[in-house]
Structure 1
């Protein structure tokens, strides 16, 4: 009974927090308005747990907007009596999203839930994760609409020349997702690129290879959901002609594509960043020392990070 009382107290405190955060009409709606009173009665000893026939369930409407565009999702949650010592039951409704985009969001949300520690309240964390994801979704939709207006010739990176090497330095607000990390590494290896992906906050990606293959890599990367991602530097170098008898591999600075993991430094929540001193040394060893100030500035803090 003691564990149940602890669980109920945590549930009530989290619901109170969510109600204060989503206080506008229609933003937070309980499935059964009496559920909180019934659980309070159990805690007070007026009702036995065996006679508790309801549990807390609610819907949070999360809406974000950017310029003239807006998007919303309904986060539906049921709390088992044992929550947070067991996982909550969640799903989403997103009529403003296409079916495929909603499925991607739902799958990522469930993975985020799996990563939460049992015994700690997590619904508020999931709601905030979903809000951040919606902002990224707005960015994706805006980018997708712009790209659809381009001519088909601008959409085909494979048409680019194979006579040049491109070295691309990419900045991301962060790279935490295990799925993103795996896809980035798999694509780099599939396209026979050299370079690396460094996870954490910020995320850094360097890809070097035949220009059309690097373009294909960037074509895939930028279609993933990001809070922020941009190219910091792009180098294009002509390959020597076969008649010159030169070794093309001498133009590369890095080994075949890999994930660069250094000593991690923790931050708030799940945030972390790699040891910047080690990263600076790594760049210098690969004739790329100038990139450190490009990404981090002389202070060692992320450059152009607006967060």
Structure 2
């Protein structure tokens, strides 16, 4: 097993209580989305994640509902096909309510791009986003950057004319990440953790509260993509506690999974200070044991696990 020291520290708590004027931010988001709709007006060029979210945000901006009832955020995907590139890719945008006073959550989907180049593209894109001054809408600038720079990244379609089939990188590495967070409270993070796992066909679980933990398993490429997205969110502390990797060749992936699907687990929630809450760690240990992972408990918490029935 690898023991990576991958860790992210951020002074930012969940942004839901940041003091930003959310009304002003959401008004800007609606204006930006309308602008992007006019730019990408052909059928299928822009796809809204959840039409209900857009309706509720408009209702909040118009004063028809209170913020406490706004449980969705604006998310959409845009198809981008620069003239000097054979690649069509998707830019996925998920906007925190505080955007543009905070950075947007943005990543790309490019199935015809090699693994290394796609990773490099996303890393360079994130560096560009970090360089943009906060407070102004920036998605048009992001799209322009992609259109101007996509040609720099080789793709699997860039094969010799004599080759009849594109060369596809075969992923034979099974990967399992054990992730630890200072806390997981945000309803948006909790939704992302689940939705991204389902999208990338990963199995595992998440445990919200303080601390928050998660496990994802599957082929290495989607697991790496999952971690790449997750660490771009705002965290007080997020780290990979353990990374397990096995070359399974052509073996059936399901034989190596410890979890049948991905779900959020809740074990007898107990309240704490403010909005803090904690899970019954004895029952969490029993859950880990039932999936052949009882040893992970000590790695997370520094003590041996005990069943909830043991005092």
TM-score (norm 2): 0.48
> What TM-score, normalized by structure 1, do the two folds share?
0.48
- Relative to its length, the structure with more helix (as a share) is 1
Indicate the structure whose relative CO is greater, using CA pairs within 8 Å and at least 6 residues apart: 2
